[in-house]
Amino acid sequence: MAIITPLKTAAEQQLAEQFANIKAELPGAGAMRKLREDAFSGFEAKGLPHRRLESWRYTDLRTLLREAKPLVRRPARSQAIADRLALQTIAGRRFVTIDGLFSAADSDLNGLPAGGSVRSLAEALTEAPDAIAAAFAAPEVARDDSALMLNAAFAQDGVVLDIAPGTTFEQPLVLLALGSGQSEAAIVSRSLVRIGAGAKVTIVELQENVGPAPVQINHATCYVVGDGAEVQHVRMVTRQRAETVQVQSLLVELGGHAAFDSVAVAVNCGLLRQQSFLRYGGEHSRAALRGINLLRRREHSDVTLVMDHAAAHGESRELFKSIVDGEATGVFQGKVIVRPHSQKTDGGMKSHALLLNDGATMFNKPELEIFADDVVCGHGATVAQIDAEQLFYLMARGLPRPQAEALVLAAFVGEVADFVSDEGVHEIVGREIDAWLAQRDGAPRLGAA
Amino acid sequence: MAAVQETIDQVKSIDVTEYKYGFVTEVEVDKPAKGLTEDTVRYISARKNEPEWMLEWRLDAFRRWKTMTEPSWSRVQYPPINYQDIYYYAAPKKGASPKSLDEVDPAILETYKKLGIPLREQEILAGVAPENRVAVDAVFDSVSVVTTFKDELAKAGVIFCSISEAIREHPELVKKYLASVVPVTDNYFATLNSAVFTDGSFVYIPKGVRCPMELSTYFRINEQNTGQFERTLIIADEGSYVSYLEGCTAPKRDENQLHAAVVELIALDDAEIKYSTVQNWFPGDAEGKGGIYNFVTKRGDCRGRNSKISWTQVETGSAITWKYPSCILRGDGSRGEFYSIAVSNGAQQVDSGTKMLHLGKNTTSKIIAKGIAAGKSDSTYRGMVSAHRKATGARNFTNCDSLLIGDQCGAHTIPYIEAKTATAVFEHEATTSKIGEDQMFYCQQRGLSEEEAVALIVNGFVKEVLQQLPMEFAVEAQKLITISLEGSVG
């Protein structure tokens, strides 16, 4: 097929101007500067992702992003930010970025246990640009992703978290990314989490917006998981304005005998694209990506993931549950790649969606790409409405319809929430789900939670 | 099977050239110069004695085709096709539009005899129960050489003839339905077909008629460097039923040959069409030299209320298969079914699947796709199930399983499941695996040899689909699967 290079959109032109204006000020010299330049020229060649690209088929950023907002250069300190920071929702150390910029003052840096070190990306880029640039190279399966290219070109700050080999953290480490929402702006940030061999840690990423202005967010977190390390990862995208356009990228490189368990929750997410690229670099590793999407009004959540089994004896599990109400759209595109010689791979991928309203839409595309024969891979996808029999059962026992519905829905997504092993984090996830269910039209609040 | 060294060796030593239909028939043919120009289109149309409107239709398609580019999204790789290096028409000199079988070139009759296709009605009748009779339309390169049982079918009101004849004899039906399911510019190969299609079958089943016998078309590519562009149009009027079978073979040749067909099915209110294919084009040799490029557009339109279209396909041949028999479920309560077995071996590439487009209310569809990849082959299932906003109560069940034999083959699944109405219920499941060690152990400890055990398990794996085939075909298909995997399994 002929390669179609359409005219540049207004947003693409604005991005080109912005990059020309600020590239000299962005942190990181040497290899990092080159990485930014290459990433941006890659972006210029491709333009914003659009629906003719298979991996962006259901989220047409070229159409959706009418205007590229200016990059936030200085965070705004509003009362809302202060109020939110005063609230400690999860017991654990907290590292805060405001509008994508690391805030040392608000982060729990003092008395950090041995084995952990935290600093800002801007600082790390100034000190060791080459090493950070090496860690930022896009994995093979994401090399053509122009949203990720934009991120590499513009990312000005984020958190760099290093966990020394063999360290175990009892309490979760929380990466709290707050958007001030003071003005219509773009937030582009990237975090790097390196987990040494044999370390055990729970990392929670919270993405929240406290202000009234819709923002554009492009955030990526890179995880490098050492041999034998175990990571429990939770990401919650909540409290976003309806007009927010957000791309969240998760890049994971797994060593051998390592484990990476992730639960991603999207509630009141505006327009959200969550893309994950996970590569098995060593044998006998296992990874699980799971997620909950609660969507209503005209919200749009696109979960796209690629599990790249580049080593043998890998195990992967994906389970995504979506409840789509109003005129919202849910998307699940999962791809499991089993490379030649990655024998004994065990892959299982599932996406289940409940549509609550006739205007709701769900797109499922679970893919398998398999080049090794001694594997067990499967996927399942379902779309349906609430089971009438389950409702009948509950209503026959005296529950009014709204409560019965809420109970069925809570159980539906609860299956995923239960994979969050840290009790405190599990409670926060449960609270978000309950609050969302309680806000359904005519649905009373469930229980007293 | 990966663990068993013998099997790996067997797969490596596989001889795909064991293609028993690979012989060539020597017949004098009539063909224009190579290449594709407006003159070629005019030549084909003139040879077929087509009316002016048909020529215009073809020329329009040809002009549109020139503005199009070849699609590249499928998971198959092949060197660029030189469309100017193909003969677009080849017809045996003797026996063009024969009045009876006696006028057909005996070499051609011999060919069909060798292929096991009965063309003489009396031979078929001998010793065969009447309900098991099959009417055959035999297409040899670009022309239909004979259509059997025409008179008897005509008594029931059924029209079964070659499409060329239909264009001359039944223009009103052809004009009304041709390209109404696959538009002229649907895709690159369909447009090419619209410009240069040569022959194929035309079936019309009148209201309320249950077609008294199975209808069948047998396609044979014989000439070198010749493309076959068949066009099939089947219309089942209200309340009618027809079961249609299609088979195809080609000689062994070193160069690739192009087969770009368009098949359109139309089912009106309460009608049912059952379309079965056993595709056994020459697959090329073990290194991927030669073989047919099978780029086919097949689509059925359940236009009427409670209509039903069912596709069953057994794909063992072709170097490259690019084929997605689909159903447009337009009528309320209509039903689409797709049963497929795709067996690939050697260097074959298969990218096949189906589309079920739910447009009407309470439409249902079922997809069962089984892929078996061996040798260095690549097998992809690509499918789409979608429910339109107004398709309330749409229901789909999809199951696609892949079996891998050997560590150099690939099996891929790319399903699209799109629901735009909350009342849709879609279920999709897919698995990819090798033959289970415990399954093998179970069979072997009961005394089966390893090859027998594999054959048994493979047969069990595809049984669900084989059961959908009409009896005569099921037997042939079962044999075909065994031949196709010969050397790698039983």
Quick: pLDDT tens for A170-209: 899 999 999 988 888 999 999 999 999 999 999 999 999 8
Is position A4 within any domain?
no
Tell me, what amino acid is at A444? P
Model's pTM, two decimal places?
Answer: 0.85
Q: CB A370 to CB B432 under 8 A?
A: yes
By the 8 A CB rule, do A247 and A214 touch? no
Q: What is the crossing angle of helices B450-466 and B5-12, to 10°?
A: 70
Residue at which a domain ends, from A336, A361, A385: A385
By the 8 A CB rule, do A368 and A377 touch? yes
Residues 6 or more apart whose CB falls under 8 angstroms from that of B435 comprise: B1, B403, B405, B454, B457, B458
Residue B127 has a pLDDT of: 42
Contacts of B71 in chain A (CB under 8 A): 1
Q: CB A362 to CB B71 under 8 A?
A: no
Q: CB B415 to CB A373 under 8 A?
A: no
User: Which ipTM score applies to this complex?
Assistant: 0.82
- CB-based contact, A42 to chain B, within 8 Å: no
Between β-strands B91-92 and B29-30, what pairing exists: parallel, antiparallel or unpaired? antiparallel
Task: State which residues of chain A have pLDDT below 50.
Answer: 1-2, 442-449
Sign of the Cα torsion A139, A141, A143, A149 reads negative
Rounded Cα gap, residues A206 and A266, in angstroms: 10
Rounded Cα gap, residues B402 and B463, in angstroms: 14
Sign of the Cα torsion B32, B33, B39, B40 reads positive
Residue at which a domain ends, from A385, A406, A434: A385
Domain identity same for A379 and A399: no
Nearest alpha-carbon partner for B280 in B59, B420, B476: B476
- At residue A43's C-alpha, the angle toward residues A38 and A46, to 5°, is 130
Residue B7 has a pLDDT of: 42
Domain identity same for A407 and A275: no
Task: State which residues of chain B have pLDDT below 50.
Answer: 1-17, 122, 124-130, 489-490
By the 8 A CB rule, do B195 and B66 touch? no
Is position A5 within any domain?
no
Residue B117 has a pLDDT of: 66
Residue B143 has a pLDDT of: 67
Tell me, what amino acid is at A95? F
Contacts of A2 in chain B (CB under 8 A): 69
Closest residue on chain A to B3 (Cα):
A374
Q: Pick B419's closest partner by Cβ from A362, A369, A378.
A: A362
Domain identity same for A27 and A122: yes
Q: CB A368 to CB B413 under 8 A?
A: yes
By the 8 A CB rule, do A301 and A333 touch? no
Residue B126 has a pLDDT of: 43
Is position A391 within any domain?
yes
Q: CB B418 to CB A366 under 8 A?
A: no
DSSP label at B486? Answer: B
By the 8 A CB rule, do A230 and A200 touch? yes
Task: State residue B126 phi and psi, 5-degree precision.
Answer: -60, 115
Domain identity same for A391 and A380: no
Is position A258 within any domain?
yes
Longest dimension (CA), chain B: 69
Domain identity same for A374 and A436: no
Structural domain of A339: 10-385
DSSP label at B275? Answer: E
Q: CB B2 to CB A373 under 8 A?
A: yes
Is position A85 within any domain?
yes
Residue B484 has a pLDDT of: 64
Rounded Cα gap, residues B481 and B340, in angstroms: 13
pLDDT tens by residue, B211-257: 888 888 877 777 777 778 889 999 999 999 999 888 877 767 777 78
Residues 6 or more apart whose CB falls under 8 angstroms from that of B405 comprise: A373, B1, B7, B11, B372, B373, B374, B434, B435, B454, B485, B488, B489
Q: Pick A360's closest partner by Cβ from B1, B422, B433.
A: B422
The pair of three-digit structure tokens given for residue B10, joined into one six-digit string: 């067997």
Domain identity same for A135 and A200: yes
- CB-based contact, A369 to chain B, within 8 Å: yes
Rounded Cα gap, residues B303 and A192, in angstroms: 56
Closest residue on chain A to B431 (Cα):
A378
Closest residue on chain A to B410 (Cα):
A371
Domain identity same for A154 and A246: yes
Residue B48 has a pLDDT of: 83
Contacts of B402 in chain A (CB under 8 A): 368, 370
Q: CB B433 to CB A377 under 8 A?
A: yes
**In chain B, positions 3-42, which contact chain A (CB-CB < 8 Å)?**
3
pLDDT tens by residue, A337-393: 999 889 899 999 999 999 998 889 999 999 999 988 888 888 899 999 998 999 999
Number of domains in chain A: 2
CB atoms within 10 A of CB B56: 12
Residue B15 has a pLDDT of: 43
Domain identity same for A358 and A433: no
Q: Which one of B351, B398, B417 would you mutate to disrupt binding with A, by most A Cβ within 10 Å of its Cβ?
A: B417
By the 8 A CB rule, do A337 and A322 touch? no
Q: CB B430 to CB A364 under 8 A?
A: no
Q: How far is B380 from chain A (nearest CA, A)?
A: 9
Domain identity same for A360 and A399: no
Extended beta strands in B155-269, E state:
159-162, 201-205, 214-220, 231-236, 241-249, 256-259, 262-267
Rounded Cα gap, residues B392 and B299, in angstroms: 23
**From residue B144, how far is each of B21, B179, B203, B244 by CA, in Å?**
19, 21, 14, 16
Is position A3 within any domain?
no
Residue A285 has a pLDDT of: 95
Domain identity same for A369 and A426: no
Domain identity same for A186 and A219: yes
Domain identity same for A256 and A324: yes
Contacts of B433 in chain A (CB under 8 A): 375-377
Rounded Cα gap, residues B223 and B212, in angstroms: 34
Nearest alpha-carbon partner for A289 in A302, A300, A269, A305: A305
- At residue A404's C-alpha, the angle toward residues A401 and A410, to 5°, is 140
Q: CB A377 to CB B417 under 8 A?
A: no
Contacts of A343 in chain B (CB under 8 A): 2, 407
Q: How far is A150 from chain B (nearest CA, A)?
A: 26
Rounded Cα gap, residues A445 and A406, in angstroms: 9
